[in-house]
Structure 1
Amino acid sequence: MIKSARSMAGLPWIAAMAFFMQALDATILNTALPAIARSLNRSPLAMQSAVISYTLTVAMLIPVSGWLADRFGTRKVFIIAVSLFTLGSLACALSNSLTMLVSFRVVQGIGGAMMMPVARLALLRAYPRSELLPVLNFVTMPGLIGPVLGPMLGGILVTWATWHWIFLINIPMGVLGIIYARKYMPDFTTPKRRFDLIGFILFGFGLVLLSSGIELFGERIVATSIAVAVTFGGVLLLLLYIFHARRASAPLIPLPMFRTRTFSVGILGNVASRLGTGCVPFLMPLMLQVGFGYSALLAGCMMAPTALGSLLAKSMVTQVLRWFGYRNTLVWISVIIGALIASFALQTPTMGLALLLLPLFVLGMAMSTQFTAMNTITLADLNDANASSGNSMLAVTQQIAIGFGVAVSAAVLRFYENFDGSTEQHFHATFLTMGILTVISGLVFRMLKPGDGRHLISNREKRKKSAA
């Protein structure tokens, strides 16, 4: 299919919009959880199912999005995805019980599973690998703002309106997204291939059981033996998928692409590092409200410096990678992020707000640098045959890692509640633990070679010189 300049110009904006909607919705719930809990007569610390149900659904169905986009076209699938996401948002706003809310979050997740991955797949098809760094740098910017703007916006809406509006605001964005996609979204397709139903069942339900098992540890609503059994069942299904994929002619997630070292390291690094970064938007608003007694509005606004830091760092990511390379950047930025997360254990209600705002601002800069570098190095060395599957696997990893971050941090918080101490001290211990895990995650990126990713920066420099 011939790509018009008009489509090419609008495509990054479409992907950026999809990334923003998905990232915002995944976190706007965090600040509103106490208000929703009161409305639904539930404990604020038992509300993570409303967050995890969305991320689990997205993670489970993302591999299907790649097959659907290849089969029916990126534009058609993207418009359907945004429509489902928008209708699911309306249904969430009308929910009057936690069960209804979780159910309609699943509907949202079905749309979210196709929305961002299909948009990014279109980018991979439209742009050569040498241009991925500036394009993904632009696209991920609103995705970084979403997780930190979400808690702030949630606090504003809960304070001056009702929690229902955190879902209703998705409707106008969804309608605009559909109109814009009809006008600018390219409709890429590939030759038909058989859908791997067995692989989908093994891989998808394996992810669900694994994540659910971790969540059950945190909620403590069942015996520990049941949580262990569910987690083990998830691991077993994933191992069975590997056995199946080695023998299938067209597996859902082809295993040979993991032989690309930068892709494998990027995937593993995403899982390890996002345990820490994924917990911050969940834990921080809860600590400020439940532990410190702050209002929802103030707790949400405290995340604004992270968004500002993310924006500022975007203009410096390429230069940082040019100076230090992907390997050193990712190793040390993980250490910095871990140290910042651990520093939140020192925060108390009596301390000045500036002492919390500064580390949140620096955290935003560090997260922006880490996410852009991780996403680019993960996809950079894949060939065209692996682009769709690799993109789907990266999207799965990102979503499941966010869910893991919430579930693991909730489990750690529940663990510390078994010990004497105040709620504030339990949050402090949780932040310290998650910070240490994040520092350790930096060891994953030592598996990169010093020269990995250099061609991405050098190609961009050559284009600049040619243009000059």
Structure 2
Amino acid sequence: MFPTPPNSNKPNSTELSDTEAQKKGNRPSIFHQPSAVWAISFACMVSFMGIGLVDPILPAISRELNSTPSQTMLLFTSYLLVTSAAMFFAGFISSRLGVKRTLTVGLALIVLSATLAGTAGSVDAIIGFRAGWGLGNALFISTALAAIVGAASGGSGQAIILYEAALGVDLAVGPLVGGALGSISWRMPFFGTAALMTIGLAAIIALLPKPTNTATKASLWVGSCTCFHLGARGAALDPQVRAPPGTFDQLCHVCRVPHHYGNWSPQLADTCWHSRRGRIVSRRSQHCTH
């Protein structure tokens, strides 16, 4: 047995605990964030409010506009379907417009669509404006998380917590706001959302700084669209190549509809997905070698 040298470089438990305590003490609080983070979080809350906002006013819309049950439910379907489909192209668009421009374009589409939906005189017009609302929502929410992570202090963990908290609060408050404003008129929830989104748009334009670095342009590959149309069942199940939350996770239910009814070939869908997966793995391996 040899005694431990006095100048050993191995840190003891006291030093480790002091270091950890120092790191925890220097870590910024989740509530001490730049103004841009709070502006994006507020816009996220209002953005997801559009999902449950129309739920309380569906009976009033059906009664006053003499719409059928199928037309009434299309107010949900047009919004969610366009949101899901547009997420495939959101990365392609944001890599060319930039994060701030993509956010502002998405919010501007939401403001315009919500305002026009409030002034519409037929349920078909509201369905179309809800589709435009979904397009703006897809451009915004697919870029908002990256913007929060880039602007937040304290690491990506705290930024993701703020993002998820904003979505959770919004999904819970949306039907309440829709019911409160819908008691005045079924048009008021649309105008209320447009007003809140205008505030969020102005805050992002004023507070979110322009990025200093140039983002890598994403490629628009037709296979991504084909996977969507063919019902790529492997897209949400492959454990080695996972898409970000909000893309395949939200599209999984929509993608399986045509495959469930037998309109598309499952072999062709699997071939398309594995071809896309091979290209992703190849690009990652080339990046690692360089």
TM range, normalised to the smaller chain? 0.5 to 0.7
Greater shift, 21-30 or 11-20, is seen at 11-20
2:273 to 239, 242, 245: 242
Whether 1:132 aligns to 2:156 is: yes
1:33 maps to what in 2?
A: 58
Q: Distance in 1 between matches of 2:166 and 2:132?
A: 23
1:164 maps to what in 2?
A: 187
Q: Which runs of 5+ in 2 are unaligned?
A: 1-32, 232-250
Tell me by how many angstroms 1:88 deviates: 0.8
Q: Distance in 1 between matches of 2:199 and 2:37?
A: 15
Whether 1:110 aligns to 2:135 is: yes
Q: Distance in 2 between matches of 1:59 and 1:67?
A: 15
Structure 2 CA distance for partners of 1:157 and 1:71, relative to 1, 3 Å:
same
1:146 to 170, 175, 180: 170
Tell me by how many angstroms 1:213 deviates: 7.8
Whether 1:123 aligns to 2:154 is: no
Q: Distance in 1 between matches of 2:169 and 2:265?
A: 33
Tell me by how many angstroms 1:191 deviates: 2.5
Q: Distance in 2 between matches of 1:26 and 1:171?
A: 14
1:95 maps to what in 2?
A: 120
Tell me by how many angstroms 1:126 deviates: 4.5
1:332 maps to what in 2?
A: none
Whether 1:59 aligns to 2:84 is: yes
Whether 1:173 aligns to 2:216 is: no
One-letter amino acid of the structure 2 residue matched with residue 178 of structure 1: L
Structure 2 CA distance for partners of 1:9 and 1:86, relative to 1, 3 Å:
same
Tell me by how many angstroms 1:242 deviates: 0.5
Q: Distance in 2 between matches of 1:232 and 1:10?
A: 50
1:18 to 37, 43, 50: 43
Q: Distance in 1 between matches of 2:155 and 2:59?
A: 44
Greater percentage in helix? 1
Tell whether the 8 Å contact from 1:67 to 1:195 is kept in structure 2 after alignment.
yes
Q: Distance in 2 between matches of 1:56 and 1:195?
A: 20
1:211 to 254, 258, 266: 254
Q: Which runs of 5+ in 1 are unaligned?
A: 1-7, 215-227, 260-384, 386-468
Q: Distance in 1 between matches of 2:182 and 2:42?
A: 24
1:453 maps to what in 2?
A: none
Tell me by how many angstroms 1:48 deviates: 2.3
TM-score, length of structure 1 as denominator length:
0.44
Structure 2 CA distance for partners of 1:38 and 1:202, relative to 1, 3 Å:
same
Tell whether the 8 Å contact from 2:103 to 2:139 is kept in structure 1 after alignment.
yes
Whether 1:85 aligns to 2:110 is: yes
Q: Distance in 1 between matches of 2:265 and 2:137?
A: 25
One-letter amino acid of the structure 1 residue matched with residue 129 of structure 2: F
Show CA shifts across 1:175-218 (max 9, x none).
2222211222243441334322x12421343468963985xxxx
Structure 2 CA distance for partners of 1:211 and 1:32, relative to 1, 3 Å:
same
Structure 2 CA distance for partners of 1:134 and 1:191, relative to 1, 3 Å:
closer
Q: Distance in 2 between matches of 1:190 and 1:144?
A: 30
Give the match's secondary structure for 2:125.
helix
Equivalent residues in 2 for 1:435-450, closer than 5 Å: none
Whether 1:50 aligns to 2:75 is: yes
Between Structure 1 and Structure 2, whose CA radius of gyration is higher? 2
Show CA shifts across 1:95-123 (max 9, x none).
23332221111111111001122111123
Q: Distance in 2 between matches of 1:70 and 1:45?
A: 37
2:93 maps to what in 1?
A: 68
1:310 maps to what in 2?
A: none
1:284 maps to what in 2?
A: none
1:182 maps to what in 2?
A: 205
Q: Distance in 2 between matches of 1:194 and 1:213?
A: 25
Tell whether the 8 Å contact from 1:210 to 1:230 is kept in structure 2 after alignment.
no
Tell whether the 8 Å contact from 1:14 to 1:119 is kept in structure 2 after alignment.
no
Show CA shifts across 1:268-305 (max 9, x none).
xxxxxxxxxxxxxxxxxxxxxxxxxxxxxxxxxxxxxx
Equivalent residues in 2 for 1:295-314, closer than 5 Å: none
Q: CA RMSD in A?
A: 3.2
Tell whether the 8 Å contact from 2:71 to 2:123 is kept in structure 1 after alignment.
no
Equivalent residues in 2 for 1:337-356, closer than 5 Å: none
Q: Distance in 1 between matches of 2:151 and 2:265?
A: 36
Q: Distance in 2 between matches of 1:50 and 1:74?
A: 29
Tell whether the 8 Å contact from 1:74 to 1:186 is kept in structure 2 after alignment.
no
